[in-house]
Structure 1
Amino acid sequence: MAYLEPAEFVKKLVDSGESKVYMGWRDTVIRAYMAGAVLALAVVFAVTINVQTGQPLLGAVLFPVGFCMLYLMKFDLLTGVFMLTPLAWLDRRPGVTLPRVLENWGLVFVGNLLGALTVALLMSVNFTYGFDSPVNDVGQSIAQIGESRTIGYKEHGLGGWVTLFIRGCLCNWMVSMGVVGAMVSTTATGKVVAMWMPIMVFFYLGFEHSVVNMFLFPLGLMLDGRFTLGDYILWNEIPTVLGNIVGGISLTGLTLYSTHVRTQPKRQIV
């Protein structure tokens, strides 16, 4: 594995954030659409493994295959751009303004959501033989996840909302480390290994990922999960998105940027 030093790959992070801000609307939405769709399939893959084997760790070990595929194809997840584009703004790259960063976030959000909803619709048909049969075991498990991760938090009131926010922060700490992992190596194998580790951690620990949830909860509703669209938006997506923003920027982006780009002067030894 050809390894880049932090000063080298952090510069690549800033360059990547700048390129995403400058990308055209069409390309941004298409790449985000495909990212949402691929990640949704990876979620189905992992949940299927959990249901069929009864081993959640095995599902977590294999879930990162979707993340690796989408990043090798240069597709964009909202969690990744939450970390990358602000770095280009902080670095004062020409033309990278806060409104353009927010515009990029909005376009990626729309693309991810459309991709996730497309796969959710396809899977709802797949799990029910075109709504002609009862929901299969995997579909039932997804519906139950939707209930536990909306109503389950709602039962705790403010404490549940704060917990969601924290789990969103912790999630994007790990996911954005996966984005960094894609840049620490110049070989495909090295990139996959470096991405795999933090994604496996986030999935097994049950942290909250805004794009994963764009798929899980709409599909759960399609499969008659006992929660509402309002429950999903208020008691999952909103605090998760906010947590993903804070976690990606503060726990990964700023820590790397401040110590490898905006470094302090070296101490002089007298």
Structure 2
Amino acid sequence: MHHTCVGKKGGTALECLSPAKIAELTTASGERKVGLSFRRLAVLGVLAGAYIAFGAEAYLLVLSDTAVFLGFGLSRILGGLVFSVGLILVVLAGAELFTGNSLIALSACCHRSSWRGVLRNWVLAYFFNMVGAVLVALLIFGARQYMLGDGSIGVAALRLAATKVSLPFWTAFFRGILCNWLVCLAVWMATGAMDTAGKVLAIIPPVTVFVASGFEHSVANMFFVPLGLFLKRVPSVVAAAGSVPGFQQLTWVRGFLLGNLLPVTLGNLVGGVLFVAVPYWLAYARSTENP
């Protein structure tokens, strides 16, 4: 069941579970997640949205001025590293994240859960992720975090939100696929890690790559875009940002919900289900099903 992954720890090789065992655990986990009560799913969904928002807020800190010192590429890598905190909190502290829960499709593929149950989990996790992410956006706004760095945080947040809502539909969709392919791989590998350090190390590289590459994460955008919408009403931030491409498209319905969240969410589902859950079902879980 176990095999050596990388390096040494305390004189013994670090071990992780085999992909086949990860598939087995992910299937069982999906079965449990589908059976969660409304109350537990609501609470853990709000927490997941909040945790991702914390990582996103840290990303804004890096985004605000690091490129001046490190250049574009390295600043994006650093931003990805700090954003990883969000998924680390989800996995280690325990929460129900819509994007990571794309993997519970594996339990339905194995006939251990119903697709109706999977859909219920997705819908509730998604809604409560939004509640948690928008809540943190409101708290960050209320705490006037946007004034940090002489207002550079607010400018970065406003520009990022405007950029996201002005993406063409198919661009946002494909970036959503690429994002959740990597996010679900991070969750998959963390499932196979046998200790806390291993789980953290499994999460950081895929998340760093997706963030540095500018791929689109629906739950992160539930923080980024609402925060930008709040800041749009602050004259000092708007003035400091100057001419912002996409500023006029920064609206709640047409810009946020329809222009960004819809294509990104669809892309996230395709990335997690068709590029991670289904391939590993075909490779490992399907062969173990009863005929």
TM-score, normalising length: structure 2: 0.82
Aligned residues: 251
Q: Are 2:246 and 1:222 aligned?
A: no
SS of the residue 2:15 aligns to: coil
2:57 is matched with 44
Superposition RMSD in Å: 1.8
The residue number in structure 2 matching 1:145 is 160
The structure 2 residue matched to 1:165, chosen from 157, 167, 173, is 173
Are residues 1:99 and 2:113 paired? Answer: no
Deviation at 1:67, TM superposition (A): 1.1
- Say if 2:31 is the partner of 1:25: no
Letter in 1 for 2:87: F
Give 1:89's aligned residue: 108
CA deviation digits over 1:87-128, x for unaligned, max 9? 1111111xx222221111111012101100110001112226
Counterpart CA distance in 2 for 1:9 and 1:110 is: 28
* Residue segments in structure 1 that go unaligned for 5+ positions in a row: 154-159, 265-270
Question: 257, 263, 266: which is aligned to 1:233?
Answer: 257
Verify the 8 A CA contact 1:127 1:136 in the aligned structure 2: no
Displacement of 1:74 in angstroms is 1.8
Tell me the distance in 1 between the aligned counterparts of 2:170 and 2:76.
Answer: 25
Gaps of 5+ in 2: 1-13, 68-74, 233-237, 239-246
Deviation string for 1:209-231 (max 9, x for gaps)? Answer: 00000111011000007311121
| 1:61, distance to aligned residue in structure 2 (A) | 2.2
Structure 1's 220 and 192: CA in aligned 2 closer, same or farther, altered over 3 A? Answer: same
Fraction of identical pairs, as percent:
33
| TM-score calculated relative to the size of structure 1 | 0.88
**How does 1:48-87 map onto structure 2 within 5 Å?**
48-54=61-67, 55-84=75-104, 86-87=105-106
Give the match for residue 141 of structure 2. 124
- In the TM superposition, residue 50 of structure 1 has moved relative to its aligned partner by 2.4
Please say if residues 169 and 247 of structure 1, whose CA atoms lie closer than 8 Å, have aligned partners that are also in contact.
yes
CA distance in structure 1 between the aligned counterparts of 2:165 and 2:205, rounded to whole angstroms: 27
Separation in 1, partners of 2:131, 2:151: 24
**Is the CA contact (8 Å cut-off) linking 2:145 and 2:153 kept in structure 1?**
no
1:83–1:245 CA contact under 8 A, matched in 2: no
Shift of 1:137: 1.4
Corresponding residue for 2:200?
A: 192
**Partner residue in 2 for 1:156:** none
1:181-228: CA deviations, max 9, x gaps?
A: 211111111111111111111110010100000111011000007311
How far did 1:56 drift? 2.5
Deviation, structure 1 residue 62? 2.3
